[in-house]
Each structure stands twice: as structure tokens, then as C-alpha cells.
Amino acid sequence: MLSDPFAQFDLWYSERLATGVSYPDSFSLGTADPGGAVSVRTVLLKEYSHEGFVFFTNYESRKGSQLSKNPLAAMLFYWPESSRQVRIEGKTSRVSEDDSIAYFRSRPRESQIGAWASNQSRAISGRSFLEARYSEFEEKFRGKDIPKPPYWGGYRIIPSWFEFWQEGFHRLHHRTVFRLQKGIWITEILAP
């Protein structure tokens, strides 16, 4: 195990990307409202560095609403083909508007239209309503560049805790934790 949790993540994540599995960038994101009610969903990792882990979403979605009131979040990467998982916990902040615009412009046109068409996490009358909204925005932006919706952008999870888990024989799994304490990463080995 490397002494820097970001370097260790990079090593395992690079191996994951090389497997050719579908959605190698997927992870489960846990958020909670101010009362502590937790919800989890799968999102896609779009960037990571020592500054944190970035994903994009509708700020008015359930996760966006929860993060605006309680910025703490947890991530879980589960990689069954390598018998590994990585858990990360930390505080979130929005990425810059310029970074959100740059990423939005890199998305396929259909996904850009979808961001306008979907009022994410809100109840709708049915699939036909969503398809009609998609058609409406497809027509609105025909032949034009599609601007980023004002309610859409990125979040960065700034880690304060990592756990690297590797399956072991006889269920004696390997668990290494990195905890940020006064700016220094403290390493601990946990019993499985």
C-alpha cells in the first residue's frame, strides 16, 4: 500500500480502467439531509486529483438539494473483478462555473439537451412528458450551441478519509484507512 491515498487510488483506478468493464468510472454516492436521512445513488467520476473527486449533476436534484444543506458525502467504488473496494468520505464544494461550462461543452449534444429537458428528481406525469420536453429543447437549440443550464454543474468531494479494501483468504480481508489529521494523512490497518 502506498503512503499517499491519492496515489493509491490512482494505482487501483488505473487498473480498473484497463479491465474494459462497462462504466469503470461509476461509484455510489451517499448524501444526507440536515436531519440525517441518507440516500445513495450511482454517479460517474469525471476527474480527480489531490484537490478531490469531481462529478456533475443537476443542483436542484435530490442530491444537489441535500448537498446544499449538508455538504458531507461518501463515495463507494466497488470493483468485483479485482475483489476491491475504495470508500472515501469528505466535504463537498461546487466546482467553478468555468469548469462546469467546460465539462458541459464536452458532453454529447443529446446529453446537453437532456440536462435541459429533465427536472431531475421531480415527479412527472409519464415518459411521454419527458420525451416531449426533450423534443421541445431539441427544437429550441436546433443549429445553435447549447448553453449550460444555470442549475447544472459539478461538485468536488474533498476527502478527509479513505479506506482501501482488498478481499483476503478466509474472509481475512485487507483494510487500510487513511485519515486526515491536522493536514497529515494517518494510516491505520483495520480488522476485517
Catalogue the active-site residues.
171
| Cell 449538508 belongs to residue | 70
Contacts of residues 20-29 at CB distance under 8 Å and 24 or more positions apart, as own/partner, are 21/81, 27/75, 27/76, 27/77, 28/75, 28/76, 28/78, 29/55, 29/63, 29/73, 29/74, 29/75
Contacts of 147 (CB under 8 A, 6+ apart): none
